[in-house]
Structure 1
Amino acid sequence: MLSGHLHLATGRALDSGQLAFTKATETSGVIPTKEWYLSNKILARFPLLVLISATGSGFKSVKPFRSGYFAASIKLQPGYTAGVITAFYLSNNEAHPGFHDEVDIEFLGTTFGKPYTLQTNVYIRGSGDGRIIGREMKFHLWFDPTKNFHHYAILWSPKEIIFLVDDVPIRRYPRKSAATFPLRPMWVYGSIWDASSWATEEGKYKADYRYQPFVASYTNFKAAGCSAYSPAWCRPVSASPFRSGGLSGQQYRTMRWVQRYHMVYNYCEDNKRDHSLTPECWG
């Protein structure tokens, strides 16, 4: 049984509560209507993102943030979803195209009878386009994410990034240097899209649109943090009872348990990777 859940120790002057979302104007794609639900025989009480052969879909927060706790409850589609990515992430790609920062929670689609892979990733100043191909850690979850909604979160402070599943920390990315940590404001995004070239077993299995529409359900959006427009003294959120940040001892033990039994890939342990530019892997 997992323990070591999240305890938010919030500072003052936080922009907290429910996130206000707007459709991403240029990449919103298919945003389902009541008529669409009925025509596809889908009964939905929650916002959905949809991928069909013509286009994917997504959403974006109204304002950017410079730190905070960002989360959503997500339920994934069962069955054949190879090549399909369902994502909840932070990014400033629209403000800094080709030189952007990004913090990802991505669900890599799968084939019949195989589990989804949850991939966490961090990009800094376009580092995904050069010698460093991101900083991926991948997990097979301890539950079936297609059966029920589960809560997925990114906690971003000036010191660290913590990824959480149902308030359980699964990864901590520390700030080792300004060059390897995202410090510029980012927006919150959700999306579903076709990544057949790499998403499932290195691109072996592609999206098969005989199984469309591919649907991801999102609800329970949360945010507590400092927007890009907050005063300088706005304090970031902490993951533990300690306002200085970091994880408690129990949270560290829980995270190590998850990584021991459920992590299936760690870029820091990949001998094919160049670790000269990833100081967070050095110990």
Structure 2
Amino acid sequence: MILNNGDVLTLSLDKSSGSGFQSKNEYLFGKIDMQLKLVPGNSAGTVTAYYLSSKGSTWDEIDFMFLGNLSKDPYILHTNVFSQGKDDWATMGGLVKTDWTQAPFTASYRNFNANACVWSNGASSCKSDAPSSTNGAWFSQELDSTSQQRLQWVRKNYMIYNYCTDDNRFPQGLPPEYRMS
């Protein structure tokens, strides 16, 4: 449902249907922002997602998924990066089941902003392969040492699964995109 003169989009899920949307443009690279309001209350078994995906039978994808929860439990943010159309994601073993009596589950999205190069008919809207210095300062940003320490703390205290270290999943060795120097 589109609300507030097109400023807010809500998506609903019930036992027989779900919903989604996609941008009108395809992007080569850029900075993309979106505000999400997650499903309130008991939303166990639902996923509110925001993701970037290429097209084709072997696609690449970057996912930001918020796993539903029991009332008053924290939401779990699941991130995923995969290539060539292969990586199932961790589901905590399906231990918590969806309570469909709480349906419909509704999430809201607003303030989509893409500071990005549009890809259309095999060409980019940007004049070069690098973002302009005025609009693309984010392209060269890096975490400072304090931010790196905070990220490590979050990983240590909140990361529940990292498939880049899942030897059972990749007995033949990690794919090239997961190997870090």
Judged with a 3 Å threshold, the aligned counterparts in structure 2 of structure 1 residues 81 and 278 are, in CA distance, closer, same or farther, namely farther
The whole-number CA distance in structure 2 between the counterparts of 1:202 and 1:244 is 39
Q: What TM-score does the superposition give when structure 1 sets the normalisation length?
A: 0.52
What are the residue-to-residue correspondences of 1:75-90 with 2, within 5 Å?
75-90=37-52
User: Does the CA-based 8 Å contact 2:164-2:174 persist in structure 1?
Assistant: no
Unaligned runs of 5+ in 2: none
Judged with a 3 Å threshold, the aligned counterparts in structure 2 of structure 1 residues 204 and 278 are, in CA distance, closer, same or farther, namely farther
DSSP-derived class of the 1:61 partner: coil
- State the partner residue of 1:265: 161
The whole-number CA distance in structure 2 between the counterparts of 1:206 and 1:62 is 34
DSSP-derived class of the 1:206 partner: coil
- State the partner residue of 1:55: 17
1:126 equivalent among 78, 81, 85: 85
Higher helix share: 2
User: Does the CA-based 8 Å contact 1:226-1:235 persist in structure 2?
Assistant: no
DSSP-derived class of the 1:47 partner: strand
Could you say which structure has the greater relative contact order, defined with CA pairs below 8 angstroms and 6 or more residues apart? 1
- State the partner residue of 2:178: 280
Deviation string 1:171-198 (CA, Å, 9 cap, x unpaired) is: xxxxxxxxxxxxxxxxxxxxxxxxxxx7
The whole-number CA distance in structure 1 between the counterparts of 2:74 and 2:163 is 20
Deviation string 1:1-31 (CA, Å, 9 cap, x unpaired) is: xxxxxxxxxxxxxxxxxxxxxxxxxxxxxx3
Unaligned runs of 5+ in 1: 1-30, 35-44, 135-197
The whole-number CA distance in structure 2 between the counterparts of 1:234 and 1:279 is 22
Q: What TM-score does the superposition give when structure 2 sets the normalisation length?
A: 0.78
Aligned-pair CA distance for 1:75: 1.5
AA paired with 1:276?
L
Identical aligned residues as a percent: 34
What are the residue-to-residue correspondences of 1:1-283 with 2, within 5 Å?
31=1, 46-92=8-54, 95-96=55-56, 98-128=57-87, 133=88, 199=91, 201-228=92-119, 229-231=124-126, 233-236=128-131, 237=136, 239=138, 244-274=140-170, 275-283=173-181
Judged with a 3 Å threshold, the aligned counterparts in structure 2 of structure 1 residues 124 and 279 are, in CA distance, closer, same or farther, namely closer
DSSP-derived class of the 1:58 partner: coil
- State the partner residue of 1:177: none
Aligned-pair CA distance for 1:271: 3.5
AA paired with 2:13?
L
AA paired with 2:148?
Y
AA paired with 1:252?
Q
The whole-number CA distance in structure 1 between the counterparts of 2:100 and 2:64 is 24
AA paired with 1:203?
G
- CA RMSD, aligned part only? 2.6
Judged with a 3 Å threshold, the aligned counterparts in structure 2 of structure 1 residues 85 and 120 are, in CA distance, closer, same or farther, namely same
Report the number of matched residues: 169
User: Does the CA-based 8 Å contact 1:32-1:49 persist in structure 2?
Assistant: no
The whole-number CA distance in structure 2 between the counterparts of 1:244 and 1:74 is 26
User: Does the CA-based 8 Å contact 1:50-1:56 persist in structure 2?
Assistant: yes
